Structure 1
Amino acid sequence: MSLGTEETKAVDIVKRALDLGINYLDTADLYDFGQNEELVGKAIKGQRDKVVLATKAGNKWTQGKEGWEWDPSKQLIQSAVKDSLRRLQTDYIDLYQLHGGTIDDPTEETIEAFEELKKEGYIREYGISSIRPNVIKRFVENSSIVSVMMQYSLLDTRPEEWLDYLHEKKISVIARGPLAKGLLSDNGLDKLRNKFKGKDFLDYSHEELENLLPKLLNITGDNPLQATAFHYCLAHPAVAAVIPGASSIEQLEANVNAMNKQTLSEQEYTIIKELVKRSNYDSHRN
C-alpha cells in the first residue's frame, strides 16, 4: 500500500525485498485503483515461484460516484479476481482476502464465491481482513478461511483476545500496522512530536506516549525499537506474518535488519506486557 505510483522506485523496492528474502507480498485491488497490483506484477515477473502473493477484494468503484462502495457479492468477487490476476500477471493468487466485512453481509454468498474460485484454481486459499469480532467468528464457524488480517501492535492489542482461539482453529493472523504509523521506530518520539502534534493514538493520550516510548526504547538495548515491535507481534504462534510496508529501500532495509535481530526473551516480553495497555474491540460483538 505504501509503495507509491512511481514505477521504477516501486518495482525496485519489491525486487530488493525479494533479494533480502521477503517472500510474502500483500496488495489489494483498491490500492491506487489497481496500479499497486500492476507494479507488484511487474516486480515479481520471472520470480513468481519465490512469492506467497496475496490481494484483496470486496470494494467497488463506479465512475461518477464518490468513493468506493462495499460489495461482498459473489458476482463482484468472481469478477474482481480476474482483473487482479491480469494486473498481477499471474494465473493464480495464493491468498485472496475479503477486504473488510460487516455482520449484515450475505456471508454465505461470499464464502461460496471464494470456495468456487479455490475449486477452479484461481486462488489457493482465502481469508478475511477484519478486526470485527462478530465477522471473525462468523467466518471461522462457517468457512475454510486460513487467515485473518488485523491491525496489531504494541499500541493496539485488540487482536490478542483472538490469538489462542484462531491458533486452535489452525487459522493464521497477519499483523498489519505493527509499527503504529511509525511511533514504534527509533524516531518514534520525533514522529509523535512533529507528525502527531499533540494528537492521541487509539487508547493512548499524547502524554502517555511521551512517557511510554522511552521505556520501550530502554528495553530494546542496542536493537532498534522496530525489532521489539515486530517480535512482540510474532511471539504468539498464531501470528504468521507482520507487514510493516515501506515507501523506500532505506525503510525496507531497516525493517529487514530489525526482523533479523534476536527474538524477545521471556523476561522482556513480560516487561512489555506490563507497560502496554490491554485493549478490546468493544463494538461489533453480536
Structure 2
Amino acid sequence: MKKRQVGNSDLYVSELGLGCMSLGTDQKKAQELIETALDEGINYFDTADLYDFGENEQIVGQALKHVRDKVIIATKAGNRWSEDKNGWRWDPSKRYIKEAVKNSLTRLGTDYIDLYQLHGGTIEDPIGETIEAFEELKADGLIRYYGISSIRPNVIQEYAKKSSIVSVMMQYSILDRRPEEQAIPLLQENNISVVTRGPLAKGLLSNRMLEKASEPGFLNYSRKELNKILPLLREKFADSRTMPEIALQFNLAQPSVSSVVAGASKAEQIRENAKAVRTNPLSEDELSLIQSITKAKKYEEHRF
C-alpha cells in the first residue's frame, strides 16, 4: 500500500488507516482485525484515551507490540472521564495533557507516541497553554509529533498559525464536503496534512448504501435526497468502481490528505477498504461528476 508523508514530519503513513474505536474489547477479535490490517499494508492505527475508558489503547498496544517499530500509533487526549465513568468533560489544560500522555503510554505499552492529538478544541480554550504542553512532550521525547482532531475552522486556523502541528483529523466525505471551503485550503497552504475520518459516511457510501440510511437523513441531506443521490452515484460508476472505491478515492484526491481513517468490525471490511485504496485515483471527469451530484456545504459556525 502506498504511503504519504504527514506534513513536514518524517512520518509516512499508509493511505488507509485503521480507526480503532470499533475494535471492541475482545482482545482476540481485535488482534485478528489488526493482523488483517497489517497484512493489507496498513501501518497507521488511530485510537484515543476516551475509547472504552482507555481499554482500547491497551488492546491496540498489545496487538501491535510485535511490530512497534514498523507502525505509526496515533492517540488523543483532552476528554476527561468523570470518576463514576458516566460522562466526560473537556480539559485541554497543560497539566491534564501531561498527565494523560503518561497514562496513554502505560496503556499502549510503549515509550513514545508517534502522533499525539488534541481530541477536539474550542476557540475559548487556553490554546497557548495547550501548545506549550505538546511542545514540552515533544522535547521530552514522549511524543514524536502532534496534531489536532477538529472540524472547527477557527480552531484549526489558530493552531496552524501558532503551533507546529503536522496534521488535523477531520470528518470529510462525499456527503460532508464542508472542509473544502476553509479548512483544507488553509492546511494545504501551511503544509499541514489532513487525516480524514468518516469517509464512508456511516456506511451510506459502502456497498450496503441505503440499508444504512435513517431518518431524517445525514447532515444536510434529507432521506429523500439520499434516496436519489446514492443510487445515482452507484449507477454512474456501475461499470467501473464500487462505492467504497468512489468514497475513499474521493478523499485521497485531496493533495493534503495523508491518510483516510476507516473503522472496521470485520476483517472483510478492512480488506474491501484496502482494495478500494489500491485502485486508480479518480480522474478529473470522475471528480467533477461527484461534485455535480453532491453539495459543497459550508460550516455555519466556528468560521474565521
TM-score normalized by the length of structure 2: 0.90
What secondary structure is seen at the aligned counterpart in 2 of 1:244? strand
Compute the displacement of 1:160 (Å): 0.8
What secondary structure is seen at the aligned counterpart in 1 of 2:65? coil
What's the counterpart of residue 14 of structure 2? none
Which runs of structure 2 are paired with 1:152-191 in the superposition (5 Å)? 152-161=172-181, 162-191=183-212
Tell whether 2:275 aligns with 1:257: yes
What's the counterpart of residue 235 of structure 1? 253
**Contact 1:34–1:87 (Cα < 8 Å) also in 2:** yes
Give, in whole Å, the separation in 2 of the partners of 1:281 and 1:106.
23
Compute the displacement of 1:65 (Å): 6.6
What secondary structure is seen at the aligned counterpart in 1 of 2:105? helix
What secondary structure is seen at the aligned counterpart in 2 of 1:211? helix
Give, in whole Å, the separation in 2 of the partners of 1:82 and 1:260.
37
Which runs of structure 2 are paired with 1:193-204 in the superposition (5 Å)? 196=214, 198-204=215-221
Tell whether 2:106 aligns with 1:86: yes
Give, in whole Å, the separation in 1 of the partners of 2:47 and 2:293.
33
Give, in whole Å, the separation in 1 of the partners of 2:132 and 2:301.
27
What's the counterpart of residue 218 of structure 1? 235
Give, in whole Å, the separation in 1 of the partners of 2:34 and 2:281.
25
Tell whether 2:165 aligns with 1:145: yes
Structure 1 vs Structure 2 CA RMSD:
1.1
Q: 2:83 aligns with which of 48, 63, 75?
A: 63
Letter in 1 for 2:221: Y
TM-score normalized by the length of structure 1: 0.96
Whichever structure has more strand as a proportion of its residues is 2
Which runs of structure 2 are paired with 1:103-114 in the superposition (5 Å)? 103-114=123-134
Give, in whole Å, the separation in 1 of the partners of 2:244 and 2:166.
27
What's the counterpart of residue 300 of structure 2? 282
Compute the displacement of 1:64 (Å): 3.3
Compute the displacement of 1:61 (Å): 1.4
What secondary structure is seen at the aligned counterpart in 2 of 1:54? strand
Compute the displacement of 1:147 (Å): 0.6
Q: 1:42 aligns with which of 52, 56, 62?
A: 62
Letter in 1 for 2:270: L
Identity rate, percent: 57
| 1:159-206, Cα deviation, whole Å (9 max, x unpaired) | 1122222112010001100000000011102222xxx1x321101010
What's the counterpart of residue 4 of structure 2? none
What's the counterpart of residue 120 of structure 2? 100
What's the counterpart of residue 12 of structure 1? 32
Query: Where does the alignment leave 5 or more consecutive residues of structure 1 unmatched?
Result: none
What's the counterpart of residue 25 of structure 1? 45
Give, in whole Å, the separation in 1 of the partners of 2:199 and 2:85.
33
Q: 1:75 aligns with which of 95, 100, 111?
A: 95
Give, in whole Å, the separation in 1 of the partners of 2:93 and 2:186.
28
**Contact 1:219–1:268 (Cα < 8 Å) also in 2:** no
Compute the displacement of 1:62 (Å): 2.5
**Contact 1:152–1:176 (Cα < 8 Å) also in 2:** yes
Give, in whole Å, the separation in 2 of the partners of 1:234 and 1:164.
15
Give, in whole Å, the separation in 2 of the partners of 1:129 and 1:184.
22
What's the counterpart of residue 225 of structure 2? 208
What secondary structure is seen at the aligned counterpart in 1 of 2:124? coil
Letter in 1 for 2:56: N
**Contact 1:55–1:97 (Cα < 8 Å) also in 2:** yes
Give, in whole Å, the separation in 1 of the partners of 2:71 and 2:235.
36
Compute the displacement of 1:27 (Å): 0.3
What's the counterpart of residue 116 of structure 1? 136
What secondary structure is seen at the aligned counterpart in 2 of 1:72? coil
What's the counterpart of residue 12 of structure 2? none
Q: Which has the higher contact order (CA 8 A, sep 6+)?
A: 2
